[in-house]
Structure 1
C-alpha cells in the first residue's frame, strides 16, 4: 500500500484519513490485497476491443450501439509519453494542497476537488464529507497551454507533456469520429463542425485513498457531455460502466485507452449510439490516477437531429449548469428531446 501524503489532500479528505483506527485498519487490509485483487477480476466486463491501426467499421459500429464504450489498442501514443505523464501527475498531486491552489492562479489550468468540475469546489463544503466526490484534479484547456510558461521546471515539463499528449488525442478523436460519420451515413459536410480540436481539454484526476470507500463515490454516476471522451487509467481500478441494468468494472490494462461516447454524439447519431453512464469507486488500499480527454462540437455548431430540437453545445452546457444549480443534478439530453407527438 502506498504511503499517504495527507498534506497533499484537500482538508476535508484529511479529516477522514486521520481517524484513530486508520493505521491499524490499513495494516490489516494490506495483507489481503492479493486475494482481493484476484477476486475482483471476476467482476470485470470484457468490453469490445478496437484496433486503431486496423479499424473495422462494423466492429466500431457494434461497440457504439451496444456498449457506448470500447478499449482502444495500437493507438500510436508512445509508451514513454504515457509513463512520463503518469509520473508527473503523481509529482504534481503530491504537492501540498495550498501549493496546488496557488499553482493555477496565473495559469489557464484550474484546480478542483470534491466535484467532477461541473460545480465550483467551494460548493463541496456545504455537502458534507460523506456526500462529496472523493476526487481532486486539474482542468487543462489545451488550446491555451502554449501561452503559459511556468517558472517551476516540474510544472513546465508537465505542460509540455500535456501538449504533446493532447496532439495525439486530437488525432485519435478525429480518426474515430470520421469513422463514426461513415458508419452512421451522416452528411460529411454538416458533420465537420460536430467535432472541433480547438475545444479539447484534459482533466487529470487523483482519487485519494479512502477508508470510507463504501460510503462515498470518487465520481457519481453520470454521462459525459462531450462528443468523445478518452480515458487513460493507471493500474488501480474503480472505473465502472452501466450495461444491461448492471454495473461492471473496467479492468485497467496498461498501455490501452478507454473511449466512451458522450451526450453530443448520442444526439448527433439520432440515438443510434448511446452516451454511456459511468462512475468511479474510491479505493481503500491506494490512490487512483487517471487522465481524460474531452472534445466537443465547434462553438456555434448547431446539432440537427430527428430526436432533438436544434441546439448548440453552449445551449446544452447552460441548461446543465442551470439544472445543477436549481435541482442539484444534470438532466442532460432529455431537456432537448422532442415530445412523443413530434412537437417542440
Structure 2
C-alpha cells in the first residue's frame, strides 16, 4: 500500500496535521514504562486456584495452549488489514449490520461525534478506527461483497472459539470465588458477546502518544489478540508495564462486571494503548457481559443489573466523554 493510499484510508479528521490532544498526553514520568512478564496460564493444564491468583494480583494474564488455530488469527488479521486499507469513503459506506464501522472514539455512542465541532469531543479524537461486531445473529447474515463476506465468516468462526474460552475461564473463576451455579449462569451470557477489530493509526505528532487512554473494560471478561507491533500497557501498583506481543498467545483481562461479581476480590485492570510512529497496529478484542437483567449481588455494592450499569456509563460518556465505572 502506497503512502498516499494509506492516508486516504484514514478518516479525514484523523489525517495529519492533527491537533495534539493535550489532556491525554503522556508525561515523561508516565512514559517510563517497563516490561514485566504477565502471569502465564496454560489453558490445558490450569486450575481454578491458579486463575484466581492471576485475577487477584493482576486482573490480566497471558493464555497459552488455547486451541484457537493460529492460521485463523493470520487470516483474520490479513482480511482486516485489507478492509482497513480501503478508502475511508468505502468503509464509511458499509452497511451497519452486522459489522458497524466506527472511528475517532472506542465508545460506539461517541463515534461519529468527530463531525461535530462543539467541545468536549472535537479535540479528544483518538487515532483509531474499527469494526464493532455483535456475535448474536452474525451466522444468519450474508454479504454480497466477497471481502465483507469472508470477514463475516472469519469473525463468526473466531467468535465461537472465544466464547468457548470465556465460558471455561469464567467457570474456573466462579469455582475459585465459590459462586453458586444458580447465580453464575446469568453472570456470563454468550448472547451479549461482541468482537471489536481495531486499527490504531500511526503516531502523527509529537503530542499524541496514546491510541486509547487509560481505562477499564465494562465486560466480565475481555480476550485480546494483538499483532506484533505492540503498544498495550497495563497498570499495576501505579506503574505501567508493557504487554509484549507473543505469537500464538491471547491476553485475558477482567472488566468492571467481574470486579463487581467478585466483590472486589478480582481487579478490573486499567490499561492503555501507545501509538507507534512507524506502523499501524491491529488488535481483535472479544468482550462478554452478564445477561441484561441479571442482578449482580455482592456486599460492596447495592444490587444492580448490567443494563443499569450500561445506562449509567452511556450517560457519563455523553456528559463527560469518559466513564466513571463502578
| TM-score normalised by structure 1 residue count | 0.86
Correspondence list, 1:328-339, <5 A: 328-333=321-326
Distance 1:110 1:213, change over 3 A: farther
Which one of 77, 86, 91 corresponds to residue 95 of structure 1? 86
Partner of 1:86: 77
How big is the shift at 1:213? 5.7
Correspondence list, 1:175-254, <5 A: 175-212=168-205, 214-254=207-247
Q: Any conservation in 1 of the 2:213–2:272 contact (CA below 8 Å)?
A: yes
Q: Which runs of 5+ in 2 are unaligned?
A: 19-30
- CA distance in 1 between counterparts of 2:193 and 2:53 reads 26
Distance 1:195 1:211, change over 3 A: same
- CA distance in 1 between counterparts of 2:143 and 2:291 reads 29
SS in 2 for 1:265: helix
Partner of 1:278: 271
- CA distance in 2 between counterparts of 1:243 and 1:72 reads 19
Identify, as 1 or 2, the structure richer in helix.
1
The C-alpha deviation readout for 1:170-227, integer Å capped at 9, x for no partner, is 0000000000001111112111100011110100000011222642420111100000
Distance 1:192 1:128, change over 3 A: closer
Partner of 1:61: 52
Work out whether 1:123 is the aligned partner of 2:113: yes
CA RMSD of aligned residues (A): 2.0
Distance 1:185 1:255, change over 3 A: same
Which one of 317, 327, 344 corresponds to residue 320 of structure 2? 327
Q: Which runs of 5+ in 1 are unaligned?
A: 18-39, 334-344
Partner of 2:11: 10
Identify, as 1 or 2, the structure richer in strand.
2
How big is the shift at 1:131? 2.6
Work out whether 1:113 is the aligned partner of 2:106: no
Correspondence list, 1:295-306, <5 A: 295-306=288-299
Distance 1:47 1:101, change over 3 A: same
- CA distance in 1 between counterparts of 2:80 and 2:320 reads 34
How big is the shift at 1:282? 1.1
Q: Any conservation in 2 of the 1:133–1:216 contact (CA below 8 Å)?
A: no
Q: State the number of aligned residues.
A: 310
SS in 2 for 1:154: helix
How big is the shift at 1:134? 1.2
How big is the shift at 1:3? 4.7
Work out whether 1:77 is the aligned partner of 2:78: no
Which one of 143, 154, 160 corresponds to residue 150 of structure 1? 143
Distance 1:329 1:247, change over 3 A: same
SS in 2 for 1:197: strand
| TM-score normalised by structure 2 residue count | 0.90
